[in-house]
């Protein structure tokens, strides 16, 4: 009877997917008397995880993300820190198992929100590093090419040793990661003046908070003109335009169909993206591929402002997981009537942009060419963690 | 040593603007004709004259007289001169079509032979001669022409009279080499605006004022609001402008009639009505007076919405037909002839042309095709319906764009026929294009340098289709071919009502008060130009031609006429 209500409430919160381990854990802990501090922490943690998962599921439908990727990344990292602090684990291997498990659930909740998976992989890499530091006290943990070639079989060298300070070190490293995340937008906007000169015409599409900050920072010192493609059907370009106008930046809103028509007068194209893929390509809001092709035709540089937490080890070949669709009601509203039953309407959210069309990536660690992305990825993530 | 010019460049010469591919042709054809220089050949090709003669061949006396007559008519229209008709006739018969005129006369003659077409509009020549009075100028001109006639008494027609330094048109062609810029692309020039205002005042046509903040790149174009139709300032009952024209203008400005073919057909029907209701005033000839009557109507319509290339060609045709009515023709007879002319024009150029184009196009549609269309083109819809009736198995993807959303209309028509359709917005183009096997596009006009002028977004579709290696076929009737050249979508375009871009989503309208925000502009373009390298084939009623063969077709048409 004591654990009956707990089960039911967990079931409702989970929705369709049910996780046996969490249920079991809850059951286990509700059997013990309630005034043990460990029990509180556990339920509290699982509650937070559940609420985070439901947030993820809810914000996925329609209109891009209701919360920006930076926010999602920060929340994921904070949650992982909490898991590290509060979950029960004895050694690094167990911790990694727990995090991997939670990570799988989180990525399953919203597959298109790749920042979640990226943060999990970062934390796993942190744990590996801390463990390696603990076990061998080597300061340079960078996996150089030489090491990669010669080491070979250090894969699951069990991570079973127990270190007293592992938890503290990991939590400290995660805190560093969090501070890094706080400062990404500022780092990127600091580079704005190096790339924008006066009297330029800059084109962008949709709404990206990174690009917004980038342009606003440049506008403090330089005068330039921005053309925003509105990006139907969600028309986020309108928000971007009004926000830029508040800083007195000359802005023009154009419909998507006019992108090629005005491209001949544009000096630079600066866009944001949802994900940077492992081959240097982008998964960006729909319409970006057309923009990139038009820029290539007119030999206009295409600059992508993307913080490092958007870099994902995925490749664009997985057809069924790459595209995300929302209700075709955005494209052909229900008011159109009978014709809806005879017609297929599609409303994809993302576009793939191949790396050949991109000139430059500006991220919080500086500017990079698309051909360098693979190397950055190997510094951020461990190859074993590509598959969670 | 010499650079190879690509198709996207144009040669700007003193003979006009030509396409590099035509350069050698002009050169060689000039060499073979001792009587004309290559410059005059260019002028020949460039100008759209109602009286198009053969290429430098000698004119007969009748043709010359006809040409002179038309010139005089146009001059008369502009100067509002009611000179004694017999004097006019005498002048017409006697005067030599002299290409070289002194500078003071040049505005008048420049104005005269250039008829109204999509790229030129009549501007009051009267305003250009403030110094001398009209009678003085007429006398001067008559005297000069007499002297010239005397001096050239026995000379053959082919001689190039170049007494002035300016290399003006040939004996056959009186067009100046430098074409006058149309009014609707000179909004940033206050002088031109004043002239236009004066002309409209004279014709009693209301002047429409611009609306809203215009993006600086387009300050030379008009931007009107649909909420202020030009008919608000017209008094009721209408005395100057025929009611069917008023109705037509309103339909244009509100977007009720849209689409190149629809606008032309509506225009021709309205003109039929006008001709029906027309009665010749005493002491006037129908051929001259009716043309005068049409001028304010055309000004009014261009105030409602700038004329399209097809409408311009239709107007040219009508004016030519009207001025070719023999003077001894009775009024009823003349009206009947004109009605028949208009009917046959519509029939030939639009209806039969679309039949011919469908015939050619259906050869290009095979079973299992996935065809992509953009927006609502009456011609493309017709082709698809015909192909469906001929039992071809295909499915259609309709691409649409904000803010006009014309694709929904095309979708309705195709679904009504029973064709399987898919519908996406233009931003989803890269997603849908891998499925597509062919792209069919309609055109608003085909320019002389091979560029396709069409609804905004067409060039984008052609660009992405090229990137995915999907063939792009443009379907266009020959009456939409135009002598203009253009390389980008800025210099000559149309700006639609910027308020159309405003949308309300989730209860929020972000751009609601865009007028109050100082640095915000909304740009609602109507047309764009597609470079010829994106287009694989153009299907016309004369056959299937590549994009760059447009000037050849224009020449063929001119020779025929």
Phi first, then psi: what are they for B223, rounded to 5°? Answer: -140, 110
Residue B72 confidence (pLDDT): 78
Query: CA-CA distance, B321 to B11, in Å (whole number)?
Result: 34
Least confident of A247-251, B10-14, B382-386: B10-14
Phi first, then psi: what are they for B386, rounded to 5°? Answer: -65, -45
Residue B512 confidence (pLDDT): 84
Contacts A–B by Cβ distance under 8 A:
160
Residue A218 confidence (pLDDT): 94
- pLDDT for residue B165 is more than 60: no
The runs of H, that is alpha helices, within B400-546 are 407-417, 429-432, 458-467
> Is the CB of B505 less than 8 angstroms away from the CB of A231?
no
Query: CA-CA distance, A265 to A272, in Å (whole number)?
Result: 21
Token couple for B398: 């309709």
Query: CA-CA distance, B260 to B478, in Å (whole number)?
Result: 13
Task: Tell me the pLDDT tens digit for each residue of A34-87.
Answer: 455 556 777 888 888 888 888 888 876 544 445 678 888 998 999 999 888 888
* Partners of residue B523 in chain A, C-beta under 8 Å: 252-254, 258, 262
DSSP string covering A291-345: HHHHHHHTT--EEEE--GGGB-S--TT-HHHH--B--GGGTS-GGGGGGGGGEEE
| Residue from A201, A257, A344 whose CB has the most chain B CBs within 10 Å, to mutate | A257
Query: CA-CA distance, B19 to B446, in Å (whole number)?
Result: 14
Range B362-376 average pLDDT = 94
Query: CA-CA distance, B275 to A215, in Å (whole number)?
Result: 60
- pLDDT for residue B95 is more than 90: no
| Residue from B408, B428, B502, B511 whose CB has the most chain A CBs within 10 Å, to mutate | B428
> Is the CB of A260 less than 8 angstroms away from the CB of B519?
no
* Partners of residue B492 in chain A, C-beta under 8 Å: none
Range A162-175 average pLDDT = 86
Task: Tell me the pLDDT tens digit for each residue of B416-471.
Answer: 999 999 999 999 999 999 999 999 999 999 999 999 999 999 999 999 999 999 99
DSSP string covering B400-420: E-TTT-THHHHHHHHHHHT-E
Range B384-402 average pLDDT = 94
Looking at per-residue pLDDT, the higher value among B508 and B473 belongs to B473
Query: CA-CA distance, A80 to A125, in Å (whole number)?
Result: 13
Token couple for B511: 């751009």
CB nearest A258 (choices: B431, B456, B511): B456
Q: Do residues B36 and B52 lie in contact, with contact meaning Cβ atoms separated by under 8 Å? A: no
A59 near B CB under 8 A:
no
> Is the CB of A346 less than 8 angstroms away from the CB of B522?
no
Looking at per-residue pLDDT, the higher value among B231 and B52 belongs to B231
Q: What is the mean pLDDT of chain B?
A: 78
* Partners of residue B427 in chain A, C-beta under 8 Å: 231-233, 256, 286-287, 290, 351
Range B260-278 average pLDDT = 92
Q: Do residues B269 and B345 lie in contact, with contact meaning Cβ atoms separated by under 8 Å? A: no
Q: What is the pTM of this model?
A: 0.76
Q: What is the mean pLDDT of chain A?
A: 83
> Is the CB of B523 less than 8 angstroms away from the CB of A342?
no
Query: Distances in Å between the alpha carbon of B428 and those of A167, A256, A289?
Result: 48, 10, 9
Among all residues of chain A, which has the CA nearest to that of B457? A257
Position A93 confidence tier, pLDDT thresholds 50, 70, 90: confident
Residue A319 confidence (pLDDT): 66
- pLDDT for residue B546 is more than 80: yes
How close, in Å, is residue A343 to chain B by CA atoms? Answer: 5
> Is the CB of A261 less than 8 angstroms away from the CB of B456?
yes
- pLDDT for residue A3 is more than 50: no
Query: Distances in Å between the alpha carbon of B111 and those of A101, B171, B175?
Result: 82, 17, 9
Task: Tell me the pLDDT tens digit for each residue of B29-80.
Answer: 545 444 445 455 445 555 544 444 443 444 566 667 777 777 777 777 776 5
> Is the CB of A63 less than 8 angstroms away from the CB of B506?
yes
- How far, rounded to the nearest angstrom, does the alpha carbon of residue A175 sit from its chain's CA centroid? 18
**Best CA proximity match to B121, nearest among B192, B169, B206, B189:** B192
């Amino acid at each position: 009877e004591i654990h009956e209500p707990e089960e039911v409430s967990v079931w409702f919160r989970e929705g369709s997917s049910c996780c046996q381990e969490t249920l079991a854990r809850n059951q286990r802990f509700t059997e013990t008397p309630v005034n043990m501090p460990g029990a509180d922490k556990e339920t509290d943690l699982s509650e937070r995880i559940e609420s985070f998962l439901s947030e993820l599921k809810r914000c996925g439908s329609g209109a891009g993300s209701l919360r920006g990727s930076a926010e999602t990344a920060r929340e994921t990292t904070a949650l992982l820190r909490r898991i590290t602090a509060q979950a029960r684990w004895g050694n690094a291997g167990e911790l990694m198992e727990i995090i991997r498990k939670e990570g799988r659930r989180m990525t399953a909740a919203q597959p298109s929100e790749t920042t979640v998976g990226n943060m999990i992989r970062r934390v796993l890499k942190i744990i590996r590093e801390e463990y390696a530091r603990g076990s061998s006290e080597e300061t340079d943990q960078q996996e150089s090419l030489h090491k990669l070639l010669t080491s070979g079989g250090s894969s699951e060298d069990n991570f079973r040793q127990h270190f007293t300070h592992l938890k503290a070190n990991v939590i400290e490293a995660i805190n560093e990661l969090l501070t890094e995340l706080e400062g990404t937008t500022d780092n990127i906007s600091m580079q704005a003046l190096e790339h924008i000169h006066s009297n330029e015409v800059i084109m962008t599409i949709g709404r990206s908070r990174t690009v917004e900050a980038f342009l606003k920072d440049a506008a403090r010192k330089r005068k330039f003109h921005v053309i925003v493609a509105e990006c139907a059907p969600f028309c986020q370009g309108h928000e971007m335009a009004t926000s830029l106008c508040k800083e007195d930046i000359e802005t023009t809103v154009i419909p998507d169909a006019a992108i090629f028509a005005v491209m001949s007068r544009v000096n630079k194209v600066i866009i944001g993206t949802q994900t940077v893929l492992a081959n240097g390509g982008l998964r960006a809001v729909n319409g970006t591929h057309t923009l990139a092709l038009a820029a290539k035709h007119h030999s206009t540089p295409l600059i992508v402002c993307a913080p490092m937490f958007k870099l994902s080890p995925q490749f664009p070949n997985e057809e069924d997981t790459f595209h995300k669709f929302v209700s075709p009601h955005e494209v052909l509203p229900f008011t159109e009537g009978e014709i809806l039953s005879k017609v297929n309407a599609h409303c994809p959210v993302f576009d793939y942009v191949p790396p050949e069309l991109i000139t430059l990536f500006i991220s919080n660690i500086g500017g990079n060419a698309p051909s360098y992305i693979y190397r950055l990825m190997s510094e951020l993530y461990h190859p074993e963690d590509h598959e969670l | 040593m010499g650079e190879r010019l690509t198709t996207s460049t144009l040669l700007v010469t003193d003979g006009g603007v030509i396409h590099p591919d035509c350069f050698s042709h002009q050169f060689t054809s000039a060499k073979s004709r001792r009587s004309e220089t290559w410059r005059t050949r260019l002028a020949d090709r460039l100008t759209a004259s109602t009286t198009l003669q053969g290429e430098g061949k000698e004119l007969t006396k009748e043709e010359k007289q006809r040409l002179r007559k038309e010139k005089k008519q146009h001059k008369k229209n502009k100067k509002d001169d009611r000179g004694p008709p017999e004097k006019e006739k005498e002048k017409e018969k006697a005067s030599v079509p002299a290409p070289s005129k002194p500078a003071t006369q040049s505005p008048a003659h420049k104005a005269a032979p250039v008829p109204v077409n999509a790229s030129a509009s009549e501007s009051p020549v009267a305003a250009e001669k403030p110094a001398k009075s009209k009678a003085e100028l007429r006398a001067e001109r008559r005297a000069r022409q007499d002297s010239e006639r005397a001096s050239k008494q026995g000379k053959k027609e082919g001689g190039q009279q170049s007494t002035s330094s300016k290399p003006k048109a040939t004996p056959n062609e009186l067009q100046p080499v430098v074409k006058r810029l149309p009014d609707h692309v000179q909004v940033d020039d206050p002088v031109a605006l004043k002239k236009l205002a004066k002309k409209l005042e004279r014709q009693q046509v209301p002047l429409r004022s611009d609306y809203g903040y215009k993006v600086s790149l387009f300050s030379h174009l008009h931007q009107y609001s649909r909420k202020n139709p030009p008919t608000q300032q017209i008094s009721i009952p209408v005395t100057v402008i025929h009611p069917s024209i008023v109705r037509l203008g309103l339909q244009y400005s509100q977007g009720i009639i849209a689409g190149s073919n629809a606008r032309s057909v509506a225009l021709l029907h309205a003109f039929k009505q006008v001709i029906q209701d027309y009665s010749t005033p005493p002491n006037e000839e129908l051929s001259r007076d009716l043309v005068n009557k049409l001028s304010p109507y055309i000004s009014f319509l261009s105030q409602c919405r700038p004329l399209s290339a097809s409408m311009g060609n239709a107007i040219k045709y009508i004016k030519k037909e009207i001025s070719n009515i023999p003077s001894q023709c009775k009024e009823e007879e003349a009206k009947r002839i004109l009605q028949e002319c208009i009917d046959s024009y519509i029939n030939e150029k639009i209806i039969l042309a679309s039949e011919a184009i469908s015939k050619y196009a259906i050869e290009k549609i095979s079973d299992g095709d996935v065809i992509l269309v953009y927006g609502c083109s009456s011609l493309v819809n017709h082709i698809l319906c015909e192909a469906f009736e001929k039992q071809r198995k295909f499915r259609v993807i309709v691409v649409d764009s904000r803010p006009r959303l014309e694709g929904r209309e095309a979708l309705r028509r195709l679904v009504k026929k029973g064709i399987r359709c898919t519908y996406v917005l233009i931003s989803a183009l890269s997603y849908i294009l891998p499925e597509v096997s062919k792209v069919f596009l309609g055109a608003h006009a085909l320019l002389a340098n091979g560029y396709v002028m069409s609804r905004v977004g067409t060039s984008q579709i052609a660009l992405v289709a090229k990137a995915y290696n999907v063939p792009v076929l443009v379907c266009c009737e020959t009456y939409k071919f135009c002598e203009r050249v253009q390389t980008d979508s800025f210099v000559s375009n149309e700006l639609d009502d910027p308020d159309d871009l405003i949308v309300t989503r989730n209860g929020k309208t972000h751009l609601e008060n865009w007028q109050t925000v100082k640095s915000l502009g909304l740009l609602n373009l109507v047309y764009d130009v597609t470079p010829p390298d994106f287009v694989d084939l153009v299907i016309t009623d004369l056959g299937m031609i590549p994009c760059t063969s447009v000037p050849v077709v224009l020449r063929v048409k001119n020779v025929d006429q």
